[in-house]
A and B are shown apart, each in its own frame.
Chain A
């Protein structure tokens, strides 16, 4: 009886949470900004649905093709695609993810099981889940089309695989958040990441060292890795269906059992983390011992000659915020990571990304760097939260504050560009001078456009961000949609100019055109910057209300 009552109680709580999330959504529609958010959300969802349906059709075609061609083992490739996308997309495009902080619910008498379920439900409602869900449905349809009798079995395998992915994503977020929350573990993770990058860089030189023997060696590596991938979850899911296609149901069942075991293990690790959260752990920095010399607190701010004091102060504050935000640092490393991933294939292969056009690796990396910065540049005040009131109360013009923030973005951009250049040089070859200069000219054009649009959207569509949490750095839907549009235009212009220059075989043409455009975009930037004070004053209520909300 007590158990029944407890279940009823839990169901009531879960219903209440679902209801409150619905009311939050519905109440947001009372303002014109909320309606705008809804419209943006619809557009973005359409994009996801199109991507999902397109991907789903592709998956269906491939699954059907593999089975009809007698190559069911290749189904594992589709599962690997789903797995990689499911796990990487939320990290690479945090603007699209929507993971509210479930720990806010801990003030209520929520039992642990409900808390776990809520965390899982939050993960399940991510746009990426819908996208990969459609892809998975594609696999189901493809297998069902080729072998209708296998439909129930495939559905079961896909369901277990989906549960595994949900658990894995939540576990990754929970543990990475834990590790990035404290200085010591953050440093260890940083070192590990650098080591990983270095080990990736060895692939190129090693392949080169073996020269013409590289292809058979690579073949042997692939052959050696095939069984390894086969005992990992995506491989197991693919194998469970492949064995069923070959009528080896016992082997297929054992693959599914192993997949379940993986899900259980991952679930256990997630449970350990969530239980610690549930019990009320404190993830903040460990307080430093009080024996520190007292003059530590006398350290003056950064000396930045040439910058007015308020601009220097805000610039310093922005840099400290970046350095203390593990999730933000990880996001900023992504362009280099993507370059490494793209480089994993053989350079000479025409199918490899940048295989035929390694010259385009640097401009592409610069473009991706700019895209990654969108989340910051289009929501300048998101991380300031209640601090926005300080800006309004201080005797500093908003254009100085915004300029300082843009300078901080520009420094991040410059550092990332330099790192990208080094990475491209190591992974591919040193970018040619004309390509490098053209890419930098492109940056001079694109950055002011993005900063201008970002400055306006930061005031018109602000959204509070939590720099300390992983995967909860979502900009407003309006910002996401408009920034997406701006990026399409900017990148489209850049690509057209580069294509034209390549066609004429002279990248200096691109440099000249892009520098002319940079002049225009810089003028536009200054024009908007000069109007920021008026806009900020007019928008102060919205900003304070949005950013100071608990």
Chain B
């Protein structure tokens, strides 16, 4: 797309219109988007076309200097601030809130001339693994409309998978980019903690949250990371580490990209093949590993002995930080104010009714874990175990491993309602991703085939600041599997998503919870299959 734009063979306006059309048409069936801003998107596209035309008039060199994302449509998760726009974070408590300023990454995207199509659905305050915890209704998986897209960034991953945008932004606190990327069959990267400034992003758990890209291949993901990464004075946790320009130069040649693998040393952590992993998922992952070995990588089984403690540690640290971060939603300065009594009554009503069930659960957990008498037993203990989890990874880097290869999610996309009754079963969705957040490391999920007709993700994990190597590894994996049949397949249910009479995700989720999902999905239900 970028080349066509630079040569003037297509305009950003045409490209933007071509993406807006399916996004608008399919939002009834997919509900990937909370807002689609056609007018602003077309204005941004026209501005990009003007920059492209000016550069072309200046000559070939000027056109080459343009960032590849100029004029390219992008989706933003609805917790990224755009001045004057909404940022609900999937919550009723931010209903009607208008951001007074642009997030750092919004500024960066504007600077390079990317076109923001709109804001995508998410689990409320990014707490969830299915996007079912959005206060605005769930999102469907483009591969199977009765199934979840993963979460919390399920709107962005579904939008990229459904070709509504080539690129999307998500945030990842325990797997919220990588897990939905795996379940929707796209690429999703969680960069190193501190790689991307979080200024203007709604906070969940501040020692874990990180912003990252969704794309349909490694080169696109690298280009988007290149735009948003880097030090920003307004986020003191954004690190002064240089962002390599090589992110824009990943090899387009499959032979060259695959050659990178020769002699690389990859670790296969045995603990990531957890109990409850679906056999089809394990098969695809092991085939992926075999392909890497076949292309010259040395893969050795390794151990991350504290993996089994990751879940408990995460579900102390993240809720504790969330309970503190979400104290700001008090109905005083912004958002709806409920109750009409004393300050206390207003707080209780505003927060009691403004937050959804999962958010309240996490605030309760966090408040309890931090409360007098329990701090040492829970929060301090978890912070110490966190050290052990990080040391597990550090010892492998010290032994010279270039990266680790593992499953992203133990299962493929699950049906609506399957994990809503039991919070712990939902939490287990992130068993293979959350240790990476605990250790602050970068991780990426790339598609590695289908199981039961649904996408499976392969996860690569690297040392801090090794995003470029992980993207080269991902690019190499794409190169060696370029001829695989599954790469030619498009999401199965996209034709049904075009049907205006197909049920909405909310209707599907309601039907699932009423136990009649069978009727909706059976092939006999011809009305749904125009």
Do chains A and B stick together as partners? Answer: no
